[in-house]
Structure 1
Amino acid sequence: MNTHGSTVVGLDVHKQTVVAAVLPPGADRTRETVTIENVPKAVERLVARLAASGPVAFVYEAGPCGYEVQRQLTTLGQPCAVVAPALTPVRPGDRVKTDRRDAEKLARLYRAGELTAIRIPTRAEEAARDVVRVREDVLADRLRARHRLAKFLLRQGRLYRETKAWGVAHRAWLHSQRFAWPALQQTFAAYLRALEEVEAHLAVLDQQVGDLAQQAPYRPLVQALRCLKGIDTLGAVTLAVETQEFRRFPRARAFMSYTGAVTAERSSGGMVRRGSITKAGNAHPPDPGGGGLERPVWHGGEP
């Protein structure tokens, strides 16, 4: 977006406040920096005051506050870009970080075209993505519940060595455990109950993810992704909701950069050093760890 004829406003968005740095057209330094409440009415007043002097372009970094500010500004008819924090240039040796400096830096870098804007998901896309992500969270809860139960039994000298853990035979063995001390029995029952409650929650989420795979617009994409080796329902749904639109990646290399599945490199002169994959991309992998759905195997190939 060409912003040389517009006032660029860099925003540092937090839960309670928004810091706005105003960079006028043709200026190399911000004119003013204001702090407002992060509420729709305060944002609307700021937009009305700035837009009265001419066209305005807003920019802020993606973060835990989501896209509500961007959606409000778009509704008010103002262009607003949300940029990737990991791709924001940082000066070596710059050790001072404040909300004001962050907002001013965003305004200057956006005017210079040095920032990378991200794709803003629709509310429906964000809702579908959150269903898959909450399943990842519950999957991590199940792992913690299993560890707590297993470590408690280990402290009591109760080891299961017959078959694979957490299978049918192991479950029967767990339910057969009895302790002489009532406090130990109560502790064991609490750990086991916590595990079973998490597993019941996970089963419900598995069904919801499976239902999502059958709904538009994900059904055709999930069916196509399942044709790839190692990608089944769970992996296909995760890829679909996290990526949303594969056509926004001009090449396979761009998609691999988005996932972080590219190798690190520190080469200089005649020396070439390559390391492991960077993982500096989307933190939600296509394989959240299995469960009620089929567990896929992620090979890191082209989409």
Structure 2
Amino acid sequence: MQRESKTINFQGQNIYTGIDVHLKSWKVTVMIENVIYKTFSQDPDSRILANYLRKNFPGGQYYSAYEAGFCGYSVHRELVKQGIRNIVVNPSDIPTTDKEKKQKDDKRDSLKIAKSLKSGELEGIYVPSKGIEELRGLVRYRKTLVKEISRNKTRIKSFLHCNGIVIPSELNFASRYWSGKFTLWLKTIEMTTPYGDMVLQETLDTTDFLRKKLLKVTRSLRLLNTGNEYSAQLKLLQSIPGVGLIMAVTLLSELEDFRRFRKLDQLCSYVGLVPRTNSSGEKEKTGGITPRSNKPLRSCIVESAWIASRTDPALILCFNQLCQRMKPTEAIIRIAKKLLNRIRYVINNETEYVQAVV
């Protein structure tokens, strides 16, 4: 008598996978509807996970999620390539109990992600295109160079003060902007020992090296203005007072698609220009701006708002009126929101900015 063979088929069923991603291994939890099937460790390779799911749950719809972290979006792209519908989640958006905070381990993390994914509590963050992600890396690298140059300049001035070397009065203004005359004067300084000379000279050489790197990166960003796929948007952005090339490239690389924000409030929330709130019953407290933000973008927006508040007539008027009832540092946040609204309008309507429009 011939035996009847049955083929397992999960067609029409959803398979949920929570992944706790690490450099050398992944902790994976697989759920089938309301059943926790298995938690296991595997090598950090999306193909291994895809083969496991296809072998054990053939014909199913595969869903997965992991926390945004060191691996960026590379894991996401590989999982999608393997046919798994993946999302990348902000770690602070994953529901967590007090017990899970105090007894944290990889197994609990992957299980928590799988359960939240299955219940529909997770919302994936925006995944940029590969080109924009690499442009973002260049812009952030430039910012790192600026910080390192500033630190080295501070080290040199601190070294001078510690050794009792006074900057000539005629170079006080030049030292603030680190002019060529000030650099030449620094190179003429002779310390009492070879050790002091080495410290000063090596720090100067490091600063010069970093400044050359910064110049190279800035020149490559300037090329985006001419005959590039981003040149049209950059031109529109630079028509807004307070928005220069670096600010425009930062906006483009950090946001990419401005239309994904349906309302201005959503964009302000993403940048980090909304206040902290704490309300309970009849009590309602409003604090300063939220610590949750896109830090590179928020700092650039606020910096541009200071410039716009001195160059755009409508924003000058608004800033002066705000300063009558609040501190300038509080007023500039409101100016930053108005500037962000102008940026959103210019890009969404593909039209250059017209001054004196409130």
Matched, 1:228 2:235: no
Give, in angstroms, the shift of residue 277 of structure 1: 0.8
Structure 1 SS opposite 2:192: coil
Aligned-residue CA RMSD (Å): 2.3
Answer whether contact 1:7 1:24 (CA < 8 A) is retained: yes
Query: Residue type matched to 1:7 in 2?
Result: I
Task: Give the TM-score, by structure 1 length.
Answer: 0.89
Shift in alpha-carbon separation, 1:97–1:53, aligned structure 2, 3 A: farther
CA contact (8 A) 2:276 2:288 kept: yes
Q: Distance in 1 between matches of 2:130 and 2:57?
A: 27
Amino acid at match of 2:132: E
Partners of 1:43 and 1:287 lie apart in 2 by 40
By relative contact order (CA 8 Å, sep 6+), the higher-ranking structure is 1
Query: Match for residue 275 of structure 2?
Result: 263
Moved more, 116-125 or 278-287: 278-287
Deviations 1:246-301 (A, max 9, x none): 11011010011111111111222333321111131212226569xxxxx9668243
What is the aligned length? 293
From 90, 106, 114, give the equivalent of 1:84.
Answer: 90
Q: How many Å separate the matches in 2 of 1:135 and 1:12?
A: 31
Is 1:13 aligned to 2:21, yes or no?
A: yes
1:67 lines up with 2:73 in the alignment: yes
Counterpart CA distance in 2 for 1:64 and 1:275 is 31
> In the alignment, is the contact (CA less than 8 A) between 2:261 and 2:267 conserved in 1?
yes
Unaligned runs of 5+ in 2: 1-11, 309-334, 345-358
Higher helix proportion (structure 1 or 2):
2
Select between 154-163 and 186-195 the one with higher mean Cα deviation.
154-163
Q: For structure 1, list consecutive stretches of 5 or more residues without a partner in the other structure.
A: 290-294
What fraction of aligned residue pairs are identical, expressed as a percent? 25
Q: Does 1:187 align with 2:199?
A: yes
Map of 1:1-303 to 2, 5 A cutoff?
A: 5-25=13-33, 27=34, 29-52=35-58, 54-94=60-100, 95-160=102-167, 161=169, 162-164=172-174, 165=176, 166-214=178-226, 216-285=228-297, 299-300=336-337, 301-302=340-341, 303=344
Kept in 1: contact 2:136–2:254 (CA 8 A): yes
Contact 2:62/2:83 (8 A) holds in 1: no
Identify if the C-alpha distance between structure 1 residues 141 and 46 changes in structure 2 by more than 3 Å, giving closer, same or farther: farther
Could you tell me whether the CA contact under 8 Å between 1:259 and 1:279 is conserved in 2?
no
Partners of 1:286 and 1:232 in 2: CA distance: 15
Question: Does structure 2 conserve the Cα–Cα contact (< 8 Å) formed by 1:81 and 1:117?
Answer: yes
Shift of 1:116: 1.6
Residues 87-112 of structure 1: per-residue CA shift (max 9 Å, x gap): 22222353111111111111111111
Asked if 1 retains the 8 angstrom alpha-carbon contact of 2:225 and 2:234, the reply is yes
- Change over 3 Å in CA distance of 1:215–1:83 after alignment to 2: farther
Residue 158 of structure 1 aligns with an amino acid whose one-letter code is I
The 4+ residue runs of structure 1 with deviation greater than 4 A are: 286-289, 295-298
Greater radius of gyration (CA): 2
More displaced 10-residue stretch of structure 1: 96-105 or 40-49: 40-49
Distance 2:137 2:115 in 1: 33
Cα distance in 2 for residues equivalent to 1:159 and 1:30: 70
Amino acid at match of 1:101: R
Partner residue in 1 for 2:354: none
Question: What SS does the aligned partner of 1:272 have?
Answer: strand
